[in-house]
Amino acid sequence: GNSVTQMEGPVTLSEEAFLTINCTYTATGYPSLFWYVQYPGEGLQLLLKATKADDKGSNKGFEATYRKETTSFHLEKGSVQVSDSAVYFCALSEGYNQGGKLIFGQGTELSVKP
């Protein structure tokens, strides 16, 4: 079945460092890909999305490119802030016509130190 694999955390960075969180997926068909962020004690917030190959999703300085050839959707940010500390989830959607069910990775905890 479809699945998502993320790099394990926790990831600890200093403020203004470059961030990469790796995400690879296994899917049949043409899924949409998402990054969600979860702050302590809260639900999930959509960070960015890409609905087809070579699309680049971006938001709040974060970027990810849908790479079909490597089945990857790595999250990057050029300069992290303390406020970016959270758990990040990569997810795929099996497609609107398949019900749009989301399959999540296990999450990567990011801690940014001043």
Partner 1 sequence: DAGVTQSPTHLIKTRGQQVTLRCSPKSGHDTVSWYQQALGQGPQFIFQYYEEEERQRGNFPDRFSGHQFPNYSSELNVNALLLGDSALYLCASRKGYEAFFGQGTRLTVV
Residues in contact with partner 1 by CB under 8 A are 4, 32, 36, 42-46, 49, 51, 89, 91, 93, 96, 98-107
Q: How far is the CB of 69 from partner 1 (least distance, A)?
A: 22
62 forms beta bridges with 59, 77
CB of 51 to partner 1, least distance (A): 6
Q: Least Å distance between CB 114 and partner 1?
A: 25
Strands 86-93 and 108-113: antiparallel
Identify which of residues 36 and 73 has a Cβ nearer to partner 1 in the complex. Answer: 36
For residue 81, the 8-state DSSP code is -
Cβ closer to partner 1: 18 or 68? 68
Q: Which is nearer to partner 1, 80 or 91 (CB)?
A: 91
Q: Considering beta carbons, is residue 13 or 44 the nearer one to partner 1?
A: 44
- Sequential DSSP letters for 31-62: -EEEEEEE-TT--EEEEEEE-STT-EEEETTE
- For tokens 């990775």, what's the residue? 105
Q: What gap in Å lies between CA 96 and CA 101, rounded to an integer?
A: 8
- CB of residue 66 to partner 1, shortest distance in Å: 13
